[in-house]
């Protein structure tokens, strides 16, 4: 841990002061609707109120659940603010009343809720943020799919994208309380009608609330909550200034060496990681001795790193001279709970001279468990490179000392004897800094001997006459050696820092280049050029498009052979590195690294080196991992940008289509009204009486269709809203039959209405349009003379209306029936514009209901409309989004 400094203490105290001024946010997180977030929040609020805390309810949505509403009774509720929007009164959270009331704790349910137009903030989470800044504690609820960073991930496997999201930063300093419920229990609640209305629950069970999807959502919620606890623990440690090695979850760090047993250590770490279900990081400590290693041991280090990467480890390189201290410090920074290190068989004499890294790590690892993996064989002696300029460097160091001595001889009459030993330290420092540690030690020895020979009595001999001169000589020798060693160490550290800075600069430049590209070909070309230059290799980008291999990025390599093609297919399909120098399809000329993203594998990066040496040098392993990730992210961004452009194009196409339909409906309404008026004025008699009746019927049907089309377009574009009221279904059905001329003698429509059926809470005009469309379709597609049944009854808290015909029935796939311009082709159901059922679906959903289609027993189609009962909805003022 970093030692405390006055600056860090001041910053910590300022942070504590700022946090004390803000309110605390408590978030009840659930994996899905219905797990009991609001219920748990109200329970905790009641407990805190009993403890003497001033608790107020700003917003709490019960969604008609009696047990949740019962918890609200003892709590004070703030009156909601009424907002007039499009002629309707909407209830919203009153933030001004909450700021004026200033309770100790306020409950604001449904953090992701969108406020009605005219509110101070468009989103409820912004209201909550203002309350927190004002120093008011807030408790709220949210589902995992409403978190912005997870929204697309959830949509990927649930195929449902929620529009209301909350930015992650609002949850950074919040206390998360996970409200968990097993998928089986949640499904039972759903089936019992405790989450959604029965008909809606049926669709939810078939789509969103499946056991697999609920299990995945539950895992995401658990992981997010655990990560939040870990983040808060880190923040609290930093704020409090404590130095303990606290961990909230298991993490592993393994030291990867160039020894023979490095692979065994890596495999042991992988097994331990799987056992603990913990992420793990493979760390290479680049000390001076490690950087001097060459030959087979350097190759062994590359193999060990490649093995760790293939087993799922994150790679990290740390430059340091003290291996054990660097490893422990890195474990503390990563807050790792386990350290895995290998220990080779060494002699006691070797450990006495050089020490044991494993023993040093055990002594320094305060709070972390250290796993020492014993290795049977000792590592070979490092193959250090030859130093062709050692003699030259040592000679230059001695020459510097000689020049300094000559200058001192010339200026000796004007310089004090006590300053001579200090001046002789200068060539030692220069030699150690510029020429290396060994040259510095030579200079130190030459300086000490020169001081004795030229500047102590008896002169020009190596004998020392005065005891004081003996002490001066010894001190000079020791100081010169120490300074030479320190200067050499600083030189090595400077070289390491330059290498790290060059690596970071290269990665930053590469990321900047990738961020400014917009096409796949251009991205591949720049990526291959930059990666090839940084790693001194040939690079290509290979992708599978329509099961065909496409090579991009390098004009010299437009094709790959069969072995390479098999390797790249395996890399893309399995997400592992393949090809040359790997354990899979090693006969290939190229080494392929999959470009893995959240959208899947975008392709593979191919690398090759014309010479017979390894494709990737050990020094470049960490850089390669970063380059592969950056290249994958660049390709993912291009795909997402393309999808966004397609969505924009589809949205614009739908807007133009809606505008066109609305324009056509408007243009046809006036002449159609004149046609209807003219046909109604003509007496129904003579030879053309039947034709006239047909003209009247079809013109009225066309008028209804145009009116419905206009209303549906307005609803889809949000220009009108339903007018809610309690409706007697008997009146609606009677009106529909009268408009269809099915209320007199010879009528084909038979009705069956439950005498105890309650009122429905809906818009009567829109519902009337729906029933006219459905009954008219049933009459049209039924054989002449066959009856059409309209049944209305009550089921739980729903009013259900069924339209049953005896026609040819519907196709097996009924999901597409309600899509726009979907025409029923098959049997006698041919023709039409494909808009009728789409219009009906729009209207039913607008009035808070649901419509389903199917085939009835004995033949014929059945359409069912489920509407909320008035008594259950009038209190809330509209449909619920629960």
Average pLDDT, integer, range 360-382: 74
Of the ranges 274-283, 371-380, 480-489, 800-809, which one carries the lowest mean pLDDT score? 480-489
* Residues 6 or more apart in contact with residue 239 via CB below 8 angstroms: 12, 15, 16, 19
Mean pLDDT estimate for the chain: 77
Say if CB 181 and CB 214 are below 8 A apart. Answer: no
pLDDT over 70 percentage in the chain: 75
- Among candidate residues 731, 758, 504, the one with its CA nearest the CA of residue 623: 504
Higher-confidence position of 658 and 615: 615
Q: Which band of pLDDT confidence, cut at 50, 70 and 90, is reported for residue 41?
A: very high
Contact residues for 315 (Cβ-Cβ < 8 A; gap 6+): 281, 282, 284, 305, 308, 309, 621, 622, 625
Beta-strand ranges (E) seen in 116-198 are: 137-143, 175-179
Using left for φ > 0, alpha for ψ between -120 and 50, and beta otherwise, residue 603 falls in left
How confident is the model at residue 719, as a pLDDT?
Answer: 60
Least confident interval from 162-171, 204-213, 305-314, 693-702: 204-213
Ramachandran class of 832: left when φ > 0, alpha when ψ lies in -120 to 50, beta otherwise: left
| Tens-place pLDDT, residues 434-483 | 776 677 778 777 877 787 788 777 777 766 666 666 666 666 667 666 76
The pLDDT of residue 69 is 83
| C-alpha to C-alpha distance for 775 and 346, rounded to whole angstroms | 91
Of the two residues 486 and 828, the one the predictor is more confident about is: 486
**Has residue 32 got a pLDDT over 70?**
yes
SS3 content of the chain, % helix, strand, coil (to 5): 50, 15, 30
Distance CA 56, CA 102 (A): 9
Tell me what the mean pLDDT of segment 334-347 comes to.
81
Span 137-154, mean pLDDT? 84
Query: Which residue's entry shows tokens 């410090």?
Result: 329
| Residues 6 or more apart whose Cβ sits within 8 Å of residue 34 | 181, 186, 189, 190, 194, 195, 196, 882
> Could you count the other beta carbons within 10 Å of the beta carbon of residue 752?
11
Choice between 491 and 401, residue whose per-residue pLDDT is larger: 401
pTM: 0.46
Could you report the per-residue pLDDT of 621-675, keeping only the tens digit for each?
Answer: 777 888 888 888 888 888 877 777 777 777 777 777 667 766 776 677 778 778 7
Beta strands per DSSP E along 298-403? 314-319, 338-343, 369-374
Q: Which residues contact 102 (CB under 8 A, 6 or more apart)?
A: 134, 136
Distance in angstroms (rounded) separating the CA atoms of residues 625 and 646: 32
Phi, psi of 540 (to 5 degrees): -140, 160
Residue 362: count other Cβ atoms within 10 Å of its Cβ. Answer: 16
**Nearest residue to 801 (alpha-carbon basis) of 740, 749, 741:** 749
For the chain, which domains are there? 6-240 (3.40.50.300), 252-374 (3.40.50.620), 390-493 (no CATH), 520-620 (3.30.450.40), 723-873 (3.30.565.10)
Which of 238-247, 331-340, 451-460, 548-557 has the lowest average pLDDT?
238-247
Higher pLDDT, 104 or 666: 104
Q: Where does the pLDDT of residue 155 fall: very low under 50, low under 70, confident under 90, or very high at 90 and above? A: confident
Rounded to whole angstroms, the Cα distance separating 510 from 504 reads: 10
pLDDT at 639: 80
Q: Return the pLDDT at 238.
A: 57
- Cα–Cα distance, 287 to 492 (Å, whole number): 9
Please compute Rg for the chain using Cα positions: 40
| Alpha carbon distances (Å) from 223 to 24, 140, 234, 279 | 22, 20, 17, 13
Which residues partner with 752 through β-bridges?
791
Segment (H or E) for 408: helix 390-410
pLDDT of residue 855: 84
Q: How far apart are the first and last CA of the chain?
A: 47
Residues 6+ apart with CB under 8 A from 732: 764, 767, 768, 771
Given a contact cutoff of 8 angstroms between Cβ atoms, the answer to whether 840 and 822 are in contact is: no
What is the average per-residue pLDDT within 598-603?
A: 80
User: Do the strands 600-608 and 591-597 form a parallel or antiparallel pair, or are they unpaired?
Assistant: antiparallel
> Do residues 870 and 758 touch, judged by C-beta distance below 8 A?
yes
Q: How confident is the model at residue 488 (pLDDT cuts 50, 70, 90)?
A: low
Summarised one tens digit per residue, pLDDT across range 814-852 is 666 777 655 555 444 444 455 667 777 877 877 778 888
Q: Which residues contact 342 (CB under 8 A, 6 or more apart)?
A: 255, 257, 259, 261, 262, 264, 265, 358, 372, 373, 374, 375
Instruction: Identify the band that residue 201 occupies on the pLDDT scale cut at 50, 70 and 90.
Output: very low
């Amino acid at each position: 841990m970093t030692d405390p400094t006055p600056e860090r203490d001041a910053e910590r105290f300022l942070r504590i002061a700022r946090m004390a001024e803000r309110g605390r946010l408590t978030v009840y997180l659930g994996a899905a609707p219905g797990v009991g977030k609001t219920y748990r929040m109200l329970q905790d609020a009641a407990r805190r109120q009993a403890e003497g805390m001033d608790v107020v309810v700003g917003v709490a949505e019960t969604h008609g659940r009696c047990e949740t509403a019962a918890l609200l009774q003892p709590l004070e509720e703030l009156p909601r603010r009424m907002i007039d929007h499009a002629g309707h009164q909407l209830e919203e959270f009153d933030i001004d009343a909450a700021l004026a009331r200033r309770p100790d704790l306020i409950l604001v349910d449904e953090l992701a809720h969108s406020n009605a137009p005219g509110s101070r903030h468009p989103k409820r989470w912004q209201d909550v943020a203002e309350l927190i800044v004002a120093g008011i504690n807030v408790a709220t609820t949210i589902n995992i799919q409403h978190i912005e960073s997870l929204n697309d991930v959830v949509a990927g496997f649930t195929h449902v994208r929620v529009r209301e999201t909350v930015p992650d930063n609002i949850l950074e300093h919040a206390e998360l309380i996970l409200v968990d419920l097993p998928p089986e229990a949640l499904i039972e609640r759903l089936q019992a009608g405790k989450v959604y209305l029965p008909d809606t629950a049926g669709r939810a069970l078939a789509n969103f609330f499946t056991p697999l999807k609920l299990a995945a959502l539950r895992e995401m919620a658990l992981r997010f909550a655990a990560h939040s606890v870990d983040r808060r623990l880190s923040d609290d440690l930093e704020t409090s200034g404590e130095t303990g090695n606290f961990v909230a979850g298991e993490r592993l760090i393994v030291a990867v060496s160039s020894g023979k047993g490095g692979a065994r250590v890596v495999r042991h770490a992988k097994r331990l990681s799987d056992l603990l279900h913990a992420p793990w990081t493979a760390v290479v400590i680049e000390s001076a001795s490690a950087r001097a290693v060459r030959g087979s041991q350097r190759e062994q280090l590359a193999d060990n790193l490649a093995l760790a990467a293939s087993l799922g480890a994150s790679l990290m390189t740390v430059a340091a001279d003290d291996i054990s201290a660097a490893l422990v410090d890195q474990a503390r920074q990563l807050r790792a709970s386990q350290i895995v290190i290998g220990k080779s068989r060494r002699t006691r004499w070797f450990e006495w001279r050089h020490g044991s890294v494993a023993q040093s790590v055990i002594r320094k690892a305060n709070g972390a468990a250290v796993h020492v993996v014993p290795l049977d064989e000792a590592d070979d002696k490092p193959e250090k490179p030859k130093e062709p300029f050692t003699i030259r460097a040592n000679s230059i160091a001695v020459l510097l000392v000689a020049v300094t001595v000559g200058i001192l001889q010339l200026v000796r009459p004007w310089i004090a004897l006590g300053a001579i030993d200090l001046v002789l330290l200068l060539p030692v420092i220069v030699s150690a800094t510029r020429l290396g540690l060994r040259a510095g030690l030579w200079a130190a020895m030459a300086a000490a001997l020169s001081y004795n020979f030229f500047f102590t009595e008896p002169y020009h001999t190596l004998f020392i006459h005065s005891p004081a001169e003996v002490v001066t000589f010894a001190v000079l020798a020791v100081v010169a050696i120490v300074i030479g060693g320190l200067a050499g160490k600083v030189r090595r550290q400077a070289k390491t820092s330059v290498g790290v800075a060059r690596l970071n600069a290269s990665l930053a430049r590469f990321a900047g280049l990738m961020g400014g590209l917009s096409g796949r070909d251009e991205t591949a070309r720049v990526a291959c050029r930059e990666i090839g230059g940084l790693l001194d290799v040939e690079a290509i980008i290979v992708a599978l498009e329509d099961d065909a291999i496409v090579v991009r990025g390098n004009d010299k390599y437009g094709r790959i052979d069969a072995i390479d093609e098999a390797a790249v297919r395996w890399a893309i399909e399995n997400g592992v590195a393949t090809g040359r120098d790997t354990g899979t399809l090693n006969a290939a000329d190229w080494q392929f690294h999959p470009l893995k993203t959240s959208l899947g594998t975008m392709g593979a990066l191919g690398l090759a080196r014309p010479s017979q040496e390894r494709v990737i040098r050990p020094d470049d392993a960490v850089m390669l991992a970063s380059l592969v990730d950056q290249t994958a992210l660049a390709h993912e961004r291009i795909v997402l940008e393309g999808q966004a452009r397609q969505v924009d194009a589809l949205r614009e196409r739908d807007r133009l289509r809606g505008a066109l339909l609305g324009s056509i409906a408007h243009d046809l309404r006036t002449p159609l009204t004149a046609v209807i008026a003219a046909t109604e004025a003509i007496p129904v008699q003579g030879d053309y009486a039947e034709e006239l009746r047909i003209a009247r019927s079809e013109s009225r049907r066309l008028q209804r269709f145009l009116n419905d089309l206009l209303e549906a377009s307005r609803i889809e574009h949000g220009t009108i809203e339903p007018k809610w009221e309690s409706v007697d279904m008997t009146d609606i059905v009677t009106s529909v039959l009268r408009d269809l001329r099915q209320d007199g003698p010879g009528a084909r429509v038979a009705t069956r209405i439950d005498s105890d059926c309650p009122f429905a809470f809906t818009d009567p005009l829109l519902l009337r349009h729906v029933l006219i469309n459905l009954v008219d379709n049933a009459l049209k597609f039924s054989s002449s003379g066959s009856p059409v049944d309209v049944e209305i009854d009550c089921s739980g808290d729903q009013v259900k209306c069924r339209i049953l015909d005896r026609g040819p029935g519907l196709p097996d796939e009924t999901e597409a029936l309600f899509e726009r311009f979907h025409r029923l082709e098959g049997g006698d159901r041919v023709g039409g514009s494909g808009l009728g059922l789409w219009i009906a679906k729009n209207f039913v959903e607008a009035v808070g209901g649901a419509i389903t289609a199917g085939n009835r027993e004995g033949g014929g189609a059945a359409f069912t409309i489920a509407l909320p009962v008035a008594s259950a909805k009038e209190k809330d003022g509209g449909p619920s989004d629960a």
